[in-house]
Structure 1
Amino acid sequence: MRNLVFLFLVIIIALGHHANAQQIELRGRVISATDQTPLAGVTVKIANGAAGTTNAKGEFKLVVTAQKNKLSISLIGYQTLMVTIDLAQKNDEVFLLQPTIINLNEVTITTGYEIVPKERVTGSFTVIDNKTYNQQIGTGVLERLRFITNGVAPVADRITILGDNAMLIRGMSTLTQNIQRPLVIVDNFEYQGDYNNINPNDIESVSFLKDAAAGSIWGAKAANGVIVLTTKKGKYGQPLKINFTSNLSTAAPPDLYYDKPIAAADLIAVEQFLFAQKYRFTDTARSTHPPFSQVYELLFKQKAGQITSAAVADELRKLSTKDVRADFANYFYQQEINQQYALSLSGGSPVMAWNLSLGVDRNKSNLAATYNRNTLRFGNQIQLNKALALNLDIAFTNGYNGSGKPAYGSISPTNGALPVYSSFADVNGNALPLYTNYRQGYIDNLGAGKLLDWRYYPLEDYKYATTVNRINELNATIGLNYTILPALKAAVNYRIARQWSGLSTLNAEQSYLTRNLINTFTQVNTITGLVNYKVPRGDIYDHTDEVMTAQNLRAQLNYDKHWGLGELHVLAGTEWSERLLSSNTQRLYGYDAEMLGFTPVDVINTYPSYMSGSLTNIPYLDSRGELNNRFTSYYANAAYTFDKRYTLSASARRDASNLFGVATNDRWEPFWSVGASWNVLQEKWFKSAAIQELKLRASYGKQGNVDPKKVAVTTIAYGNNSIYTQTPWSQVANYPNPDLKWEQVGMLNLGIDFNAWKGKLSGSIEYYTKKMSDLYALVAIDRTTGISSGTVTRNIGQAKGHGWDIELKTSHQIGQLNWNADLILNTYTDRITKLNQNNFTGREVMATGFSIVEGYSLSSLFAFKWAGLDPQTGDPMGYLNGQVSKDYSAILTTTKLADATYIGSQFPKLFGSLGSSWRYKGFELTARLSYKFAYFFKRNSIDYGALVTQLGGHADYAKRWQKSGDELYTNVPSFVYPVIAVRDEFYRNSAVLFEKGDHIRLQYLNLSYTLNQSAYKWLPIKAVRLGIAANKLGIIWKANKAGLDPEANTIPRSQNITAALNINF
């Protein structure tokens, strides 16, 4: 019996020892996938086993008995991660948690007056975080926002009137295109300098305020939407953080062959025909000696017997093989190189937070133009005591723009276009002259050596005609925040911005501009041979100084009170702002850059032109200007939330300005908004495990729009001394209008925010309508005022618009593979409802640009109805009084709007993008498609008037009607001589030249790899990210069959490739 007991004890001990031998320690670390910071309090659980949480370093330890274990890793605010770990292969693994797509408690919106948690929002906002903002790399602060923002449409390059990188927030809101741009706010104040002065690497986040509840707090300037840029800041108690970014971008020269000029052989044939018709023969006797083309000069020599027909034919054959685009590509265009470096430091203590950033950009364009930018930004927040805090921000920018080589299309003779067969150099690379102002045979031997060379050499001239623009901007903000009571705080902030711009153009004596002016006013004594230079020898220096000073002073009270189930948030304040712009332009003749000397000239008296003998003045460019805009505003905003379920909001603002009329400033008519939201998820009766967010929103309010160039008072513009009376003259530039006020836009917004299945489907759906009133429009002056002609701006226009903003997101995680995708889908349609100007004829409404017509879109395109080509003559045919007609003059002048063809809108009615990103361990791939549908554009075609008078032709010349039957295959009219101008005008504005703009484009593609110190212990830095990005990758589908890029202005943008490096210390 004793032996049995002993044997039993031995077995128990052995089994226990075996069991202890099978216990394994599973170790790991959990960090955030977005910024690689350790996550504390993460629950780590083994299926049907032990569980634990991470410490402050994100580390955890669990005792397991199996080699393979299924882990569940979860934390509120992050997506749960399910992984299987094989301890036989790896231990001490690093796990990355992805934030949930929408977390109401963490997302905030910056309006420029306050920071609002998203759960309190009743209006329409879109927030772009730092990661999304940096998916597109570029020098400009706004260009990174293209195609990533719900409700925002980037404007096509071909619509140049709105400026570079322009964008529309919920469509157009005005008939005045030059005030269509959104209001841009930087760190709580309107930014009024050059946007290029802002370093995009300083931006932390961007908020778009899209409706009245969001933007009405900005009053008379918010109707086009508001873009709020928030720069990076330090945090209290934050250890030192250092971040370095380097981007090296390159872009190939543009595809000049995308442009389709007339073929050289066709142009030569046209010129031979014109010569046979003796076209321009009378110009040979003109005293101004206008230039002729190379073809004409050869034909003149042949006519005079100076060259044989065979020699002419050989020279014309050589010219027919030339293409000026090849010379532009070979001699002027090059690879574009952009270098960007950014260094930021930030940190803090319990009573102070600070940040310092430095930025350097060194860009060389594909035309060798130079752009350099140096930026410095410093911010400091100091808690002076428990109640008082001081904020100080200083930003400085130094910018330099230097001119490069001439661009394609920028060189042309004074009387026409540059012939396609032109050359800039001979076969040995020696510069060839172009005769742009005067005839070759005349100036080659003019002056008997007393004049400067009067020929223009494009290959050399740009070296002696340089333009430099230097910009310096200082922006400083100081603010005090004082806690009066726990619920009541006061703030006073003052901002001053000063921008100095110096634009200088130095035309050296070797430049054509200087040589031309010197020669034009040179007087040669035919007896003594003495030369008198009325324009002195030496350089010509043009300089414009422009100084902009903007000031803002704001005082504001904030009240935040929580009691029981209620929350009340109120702010009220007043703001004063001023923007003073002064300019000074001067020209110096006989300038010596080394000695800074110049020679005064007589700009009062007239002198004979050496070429024609006509009397004229030496050009005088000196001018002065000053513009001062001032605003005074009062504003208030309030929101009340009950039980975290129901929120009511309201805002009001009143603006007065020196731009408005007396009647407007004296009348109390504030901008305002009201809004409400319902957080359905907080209702006790709403129970759904699948829904994590469900919120309904509604708002209505009014915003304004102002054109600072339109003022209500009589404005007199003074000119320089008259050349006849030698006394100053003036004219009325603006007539009085005491009722002039801002434009108004009232907007109703209805929205729903949702998040289902833990981020697998989330997003927002919004519908909005807006009514635009008091829109600026020109009306004829009442003749009873005593003024017989002229116009005055009045607030008479009205319009309506509506659209949908839809954004859908999805997120999925399969092991260590994380996939995110988002779809932005926007629609917009508008219509002018009142204009008081409807007696349009076809010619008036078919003019280039925007057709402003009551009953149609604000961006309408109209055209003359097209009836095809006459099968006998190839003439274009239209309609007059419902009948096919070739009476072009009558069609142009008597066609009524109802008889014209409405093509459609220049802006898309449906637009958006589709983005997707894949992350696996340290690798991440991001791509985005953009699309635009339901809009139109007009393509270029042949203009026979321009072909004959300027030698500027289009490749459609080769498709022209030439014989009966061609009308079945072409819509290009026949060539007739003499040219009939109204025939050309009808064809240029006919419906046959309009194309659908619908297209899908691959916008950008990014690939990166991140190494983290937490995963690679040997790494001496916190994290490093290496990446390559491709932008503007081109169209993958388009509706038009002409092979055209509907967004391009002459030449499409080139693809851009960037190598990126980011290091966190």
Structure 2
Amino acid sequence: MQKTAFCGWSARGSNRHFTQTLLVMKLTTLFLTLGFLNVSAKAVSQNVTFSGEEVLLESVFFSVEKQTGYLFLYDNSIKELAKPVSLSVKDVSIEKFLEIVFRSQPLLQFKIGNKTILVSRKPGSDRRPESTGTLNLLKDTLIKVKGYVAGLNNQPLAGATIRIRGKNGTTISDDKGYFEINTTPGSKLVISYIGFHEKELIIKNAEPIRIKLVQKENNIEAVEVKFNTGYQELPQERATGSFSHINNAMLNRAVGGTILERLEGIANGLLFDRSTLAGEDVKGKPEIRVRGLSTIEESLRGPLIVLDNFPYDGDINTINPNDIESITILRDAAAASIWGASAGNGVIVITTKKGKYNQPVRVTFNKNITVFEKPDLFYNQNYLPAPVVMAAQKELFTRGAYTINTQTLLPSYVELLIKQRDGLIDPDDFTKQETIMRNNDLRAQSSQYLYQPGINDQYAIGVNGGGNNHKYVLSAGYDQNRSNVVLDKDSRINVSIQNTFRVNPDLEISGSVWVTKKQEIDNGLSHRDLNFFNNAGFVDIYDRIADEHGMPTAIAKAYRSAYRDNAENIGLLNWQYKPMEDRYLVDNRTVSQDLRLNTNIKYRFFKSLNAELSYQHHTNSSKQVSLYDKTSYYVRNLVNRYTQTNGTKVIPHDAIKMFDGIRELSSHSGRLQLNYRETIAGEHEISALGGVEIRENVSGTQPGTTLYGYNKETWQGIARYDYITRYPVRPTGTAQIPFSTSTDTRIINRFLSYFGNASYTYLQRYSLSGSMRWDGSNLLGVKSNQRGTMLWSLGGSWDLHREHFYDVSWLSYLRLRATVGSAGNIDKSQSHYPTISLGTYAENGLSVATLRHPGNPYLRWEQVNISNWGIDWRILNNRISGSFEYYSKHAKDLLGNNMMGPTTGVTTNYKINYAALRTLGMDIQITSRNTTGEIGWTTTLLLNYSSNKITHFNKPAVSNIADFLTTGRPPVELGKSVDLIYALPWYGLNPLTGQPLIYLNGEVSHDYATYYNSLSKNDILISGVTVPPFTGTIRNNLSWKGLELSAIVAFKTGYVFRRKSMLPGREYSATAALYHMDYFKRWQKPGDELFTQVPAYSPDNINQRWAVYMNSEELITKGDAIRLQDVSVSYSINESIAGKIHAKMIRIYGYARNLGILWRANKHGIDPDFPNADYPAPKSFAIGLQVEF
């Protein structure tokens, strides 16, 4: 028996609101706030007025619903028993009206309760005359089985599916959990419901049955899954495309201030690549890949981010994770093509929390604190102990490698040797200072004075609820984060208000305001800021930033100590640089603001058709301000440099305040959409949508300024200076007064789209889906056939387990899916026609026009054709479930850089459509219920594979071999992967000299320059790929009463990286020394080549010789590793105990991340996730409390 409900269904999608001025923003906020407070909205009238002759009963019901807000529930077969209605009444109560109506309905009865009206047959009215012998035979054979389906706490399950295994016959339970179905004795009845374990029983007779379904132990999966595409919510059972859904419980499993931190390891098909993060930027943004590559250009590789149904162009890290309800990742054409030319790299759809009608006020509070360990500065191997460095510098000094110069910067130890040579230091003092240097390790001092345990402090509160005609959400969040670097910190404030009003049963209006303010303070000094790891500033491992008493000491910076120490004697300011002291004299702040205003109007024409008008206005701005105290090194250095020989100070000795301009982003997005959904005769389900979308993005900058002679008390300074004249500066040369280089610019991009999507499902077994989208932009010319592209998708699924012939008891669920279609990518920096950027110079106010793009009349959108095949299954009474998907992506018209001819005078790169790429891969997900009962244990395996290959390439071949050996991405080659890494062949070490072996014309040679310069493409080797093709995670969840424990083990395999090593000869460079601990593994005597491949020390620095070693296959290292990614533990306090403080739920939780590598293929102790970083991401530990009232 199928129940049909005629009712309005509210949009869980976007809420849009149009505004541009501050006045409108204030009025909007006031309106929404007042709406939030008005929780007792005016009730819909309970009286009915009706007049009509021979009106269908269904039409009468519809009229009552519109006038009263009541909902009618009844079986479709009721229509066959209903009789036309003729009456005329005015302003009568609903009870009286229904009594009058049902006087003319002898076979029907009604019951009112909780704003619903249940219409049913009167007892005995369900018997029908049987007119044929066949019917009489069926009557004798079939029995009518009635039953009740219950779930948790014996609550009725409405919409549970009841089917007869191996035969035709399916029904669903009504709103109270009851059902009826005709079958034969001995048949098997299968009862299923989303989030519950399927149950099977044998029917013996027509006695009523009571069925209780057991909820899945993993609460994360025990809810009905709906995929939000940004345009519609699609039930999992009806989806043909490839989706990865992360619900709220799974998101809250991890603790982190950003959304991306919480997605890693739990989203199937999502890869975070950190191999390009360098230096100390271990918390920087990784490259995110959804199912491998779909483009070549690194700037285009990221997925499209959709927030509340509209693309989000701001910083995803400004979004408060506590406001997020769920995340859906669209991975194939059927899922993502609705987003058209922006969806080629996949789509991440973020849905925020929404209010609910008829829900009491619910208050949720969440507080957590995360502590990060200090980074391990001893992890980096690019150093040598102080005695070794000092010995090398002493040898160079003895050779006369350091030119005696009163201005050029020299290492501190060399300065000490010069004083000893010139008799300027007592021998005892020399020995004392040399001993201090020899025993010092700058890394230890940096760790002690420059770093600290990082602390992230997060607060979040949310209030939501609703009445009959109003629902709302109010949330606020505050994050205060202390960096690992002393004095560096940031904070974020998020506030949002959402209101939805049901004006009448057919009209719903929503509005929301989202405000985020973020402030970053960057006053700290990192180890790399001392120029230690790159040695560019001659700050060596023996230098000190504090003495034995912890007092700040001066280090070398820019000028020789002899020149610097003499500054005050010639009337200049103190020129010493004490980093520990100077960091307190600088104030660098970046402030960003993000505002989203949404509104949505939804009108229902009739039960199956509605229209939505949505609008969003989004603005984002950021500004950076730096204030330098008059005693800071920055100010003193500028004043000294520009002080003229006659003592005139061009730059006043006072504070300097720098405004680095304002960066702004503004967008307007509007959408008109029609939605249609209908179920016909319980067998045919039709869903369709179509509409038009328009979008404008405006980005730009406002010029900055520099205030010299800044007075902190009056906030005044001098902005007008002669920025044109070049002044003599110390120690030599001329220069202009520094000024802000930012300009006043604005870039406008406009987009227009038409879209449509439809799906059809028959008998809950066979589903077909299709979509089309036309995208146009002002970037690609003025003709419609140039600026637009058509993208499409087709998909189908077959629920094989629902077939009447299917009778595989151990494989209770089997579903096949297949999709094909296209998506695209667009580079907003490119244009069909030549474009210029208009701006204003900050230093003189003059207008300037800069060639931004020379134009490309043949420019086309990148297009990605995607096919996907999938199978979903459950075995052993749903104890093990999973999915397997294979995909193929063929991307064409891919963009890449091209240079204009030198005779054109244009030096700007422009991009052309020059390549095609094929990506193949698979995604596997398996979940196993290992134990049930009081102790629950589930295991989930995610396994992904992806590989890519260039299938077309029409740019000239690269002739510079060095480009293939660069640390960045190598040039693209036909038939090869984009992620390849190349290397030179390694022949070992010369047993006589310990130098790298090379061969010229088949003979051993020492002419490294000739060898290296004569290399051809055929001489270099393909050593592997730098991005892992195989990735996966194993997540185990244990539960016992209120205690839950979860851990993720992640693995990556099949890739390599180039590790660093000693550069033979460079450790003895007088101007650019580079060190590495492999120095102690170097060849030192004949026979060592049997145990080491590190070349011998060389007194001369020949670039080609060390390049042969550093670019060799000897340093290509396997990246395979298994790591303990995180552990999560939580305890939910018993509801009876929580109720004593009027709480519905109290949850205490802990979380640990980056816990270490369990196994790695390399033997060098390198974390392959961070091959170019100074250290891996520090471990973190969090504890938190969540309370719901």
Q: TM class, shorter-chain normalised?
A: 0.7 to 0.9
SS of 2:827's equivalent in the other structure is coil
Q: Does 1:541 align with 2:663?
A: no
Shift of 1:887: 3.8
2:978 aligns with 858
Unpaired stretches in structure 2, ≥5 consecutive residues: 1-149, 159-174, 178-190, 201-212
- Relative to structure 1, the CA distance from residue 448 to residue 1047 in structure 2 (aligned partners, 3 Å threshold; closer, same or farther) is same
Please state if 1:915 is matched with 2:1032. Answer: no
Shift of 1:878: 4.2
Verify: 1:199 aligned to 2:325, yes or no. Answer: no
Please give the residue correspondences for 1:706-725 in structure 2 after superposition, counting only pairs within 5 Å: 706-716=826-836
Q: Which residue matches 2:402?
A: 280
CA distance in 1, matches of 2:548, 2:1138: 60
2:779 aligned counterpart, secondary structure: coil
Aligned ranges for residues 626-637 of structure 1 at < 5 Å?
A: 626-637=746-757
- Is it true that 1:586 corresponds to 2:708 in the alignment? no
Q: Is 967-976 or 863-872 further displaced after alignment?
A: 967-976
Question: Where in structure 1 are there 5+ consecutive unaligned residues?
Answer: 1-29, 43-55, 59-72, 83-94
Q: From the superposition, tell whether residues 468 and 721 of structure 1 become closer, same or farther in structure 2 (CA, over 3 Å).
A: closer
Secondary structure of residue in 2 paired with 1:384 = strand
Q: Which range moved further: 687-696 or 360-369? A: 687-696
Task: Identify the residue that residue 360 of structure 2 maps to in structure 1.
Answer: 239
Structure 1 counterpart of 2:339, from 202, 215, 218: 218
Q: Is residue 397 from structure 1 mapped to residue 512 from structure 2 by the alignment?
A: no
For residues 74 and 909 of structure 1, the distance between their equivalents in structure 2, rounded to whole angstroms, comes to: 38
Higher mean displacement: 514-523 or 806-815 = 806-815
Aligned with 1:233: secondary structure?
Answer: coil
Hey, what does 2:502 align to over in structure 1? Answer: 383
3-state SS of 2:389 partner: helix
Partner in structure 1 of residue 473 of structure 2: 355
1010-1019 vs 742-751, which moves further: 1010-1019
- The structural deviation recorded for 1:356 is 1.1
For each residue in 1:919-974, what CA deviation from the matched residue of structure 2 results, as whole angstroms up to 9, or x when unmatched? 11111111110110011111121234376223331112222222222222222222
Residue 639 of structure 2 is aligned to residue 522 of structure 1? no
Q: Which amino acid aligns with 2:982?
A: F
The equivalent of 1:868 in structure 2 is 988
User: Once the two structures are superposed, what CA deviation does each residue of 1:872-919 show, in whole Å capped at 9, x if it has no partner?
Assistant: 222223456776654433443332333211111111011010001111
2:511 partner letter: L
1:706-745 deviations in Å (ceiling 9; x for gaps): 222233332345787799x998776534211022222111
**Equivalent in the alignment of 1:304:** 422
Structure 1 788/537 Cα, relative in aligned 2: closer, same or farther at 3 Å?
Answer: closer
Distance 1:683 1:742, change over 3 A: same
Query: For 1:443 and 1:75, how far apart are their aligned partners in 2?
Result: 79
Which residue number corresponds to residue 1013 of structure 2? 893
1:255-266 map, 5 Å: 255-260=376-381, 261-266=383-388
What CA deviation, in whole Å up to 9, does each residue of 1:363-405 have, x standing for no partner?
1111132211111122222111121111112111121111242
Map of 1:849 onto structure 2: 968
- Residue 126 to residue 856, structure 1, CA distance change in 2 (3 Å): same
Match for residue 671 of structure 2 among 554, 562, 568: 554
Query: Which of 456, 459, 466 is 2:577 aligned to?
Result: 456
**Aligned counterparts of 1:813 and 1:77: Cα–Cα separation in 2:** 17
What is aligned with 1:70? none
CA distance in 2, matches of 1:581, 1:749: 37
Matched, 1:499 2:620: yes
- What is the one-letter code of the residue matched to 1:384? V
Deviations 1:446-476 (A, max 9, x none): 2436222111111111111221111221111
Output the CA distance in 2 between the equivalents of 1:38 and 1:467: 60
Query: Which residue identity lines up with residue 781 of structure 1 in the other structure?
Result: M
1:722/1:729 contact within 8 Å kept: no
Cα contact 1:704–1:744 (8 A) shared by 2: yes
1:73-112 maps to which residues of 2 (within 5 A)?
A: 77-79=195-197, 97-98=215-216, 106-112=224-230
CA contact (8 A) 1:158 1:1050 kept: no
User: Contact 1:534–1:601 (CA<8 Å) still a contact in 2?
Assistant: no
1:905 aligned residue: 1025
After TM superposition, give the deviation of residue 1015 of structure 1 in Å: 7.0
Q: Is the 8 A contact 1:749 1:768 kept in 2?
A: yes
Q: Which stretch of the first structure deviates more once superposed, 970-979 or 663-672?
A: 663-672
TM, length-normalised to structure 2: 0.79
Match of 1:240, SS state, is strand
Bigger shift: 543-552 or 212-221? 543-552
Structure 2 CA distance for partners of 1:840 and 1:645, relative to 1, 3 Å: farther
Q: 1:508-531 deviations in whole A, cap 9, x for unaligned? A: 222211211111111242xxxx54
Q: Corresponding residue for 2:100? A: none
Decide which of 830, 834, 841 is 2:952's aligned counterpart: 834
Task: Give the corresponding residue for 2:1166.
Answer: 1044
* C-alpha deviation, 1:1019, in angstroms: 5.7
Equivalent pair of 1:841/1:894 in contact (CA under 8 Å): no
**Is the 1:206–1:230 contact (alpha carbons within 8 Å) kept by the matching residues of 2?**
yes
**Of 973-982 and 456-465, the range deviating more from structure 2:** 973-982
State the distance in 1 between where 2:862 and 2:823 align.
Answer: 8
Conserved? CA contact 1:547–1:581, under 8 Å: yes
Q: Which residue is 1:758 aligned to?
A: 877
Paired with 2:519 and 2:592, the residues of 1 have a C-alpha distance of 6
Q: Given residue 248 of structure 2, which amino acid in structure 1 is its aligned partner?
A: N
- TM-superposed deviation, 1:207: 0.3
User: Are 1:641 and 2:761 matched, yes or no?
Assistant: yes
Structure 2 residue corresponding to 1:817, chosen from 914, 930, 935:
935
CA contact (8 A) 2:240 2:767 kept: yes
Cα distance in 2 between the residues matched to 1:739 and 1:885: 50
Q: Which position in structure 2 is the counterpart of 1:271?
A: 393
CA contact (8 A) 2:651 2:708 kept: no
What residue identity is the alignment partner of 2:1175? I
* CA-CA distance at 1:172 after TM superposition: 1.8
Matched, 1:1057 2:1057: no
Aligned residues: 986
- Equivalent residue letter for 2:966: A
Q: State yes or no: 1:773 paired with 2:773.
A: no
1:988 aligned to 2:1110?
yes
Q: Deviations over 1:105-159 (max 9, x none)?
A: 9211000011111122111101011111112111012110011111111112544
Greater Cα offset, 696-705 or 969-978: 969-978
AA aligned opposite 2:491: N
1:971–1:720 distance in 2 versus 1, CA, 3 Å: farther
Return the alpha-carbon distance in structure 2 between the equivalents of residues 811 and 873 of structure 1.
63
Provide the C-alpha distance between the structure 2 equivalents of 1:667 and 1:450, rounded to a whole number of angstroms. 66
> What residue number does 1:249 align with?
370
Residue 811 of structure 1, CA deviation = 1.6
SS of structure 2 residue aligned to 1:630? strand
Q: Which residue of 1 aligns with 2:1150?
A: 1028
Q: 2:151, 2:548 → 1: CA distance?
A: 65
Aligned counterpart, 1:175: 296
Secondary structure of the corresponding residue to residue 330 of structure 1: helix
The aligned counterpart of 1:939 is: 1059
Read off the aligned partner of 1:552 and give its amino acid letter.
Answer: S
How far does the alpha carbon of each residue in 1:396-445 deviate from its partner, in whole angstroms, 9 at most, with x for none? Answer: 11211112421121222995452111110111222111121111011212
The structure-2 alpha-carbon separation of the partners of 1:81 and 1:483, relative to structure 1 and needing over 3 Å to count, comes to: closer
CA shift for structure 1 position 579 = 1.5
Alignment partner, residue 206 of structure 2: none
SS class of match (1:631): strand
Q: Secondary structure at the match of 2:530?
A: coil
Distance change (3 Å), C-alpha of 1:667 and 1:501: closer
Using the TM superposition, give the Cα deviation of residue 662 of structure 1 relative to its aligned residue in structure 2, in angstroms: 4.6
2:862 to 743, 753, 778: 743
Is the Cα contact below 8 Å between 1:424 and 1:432 reproduced in 2? yes
Q: Give identity over the alignment, percent.
A: 34
Give the drift of 1:663: 6.1
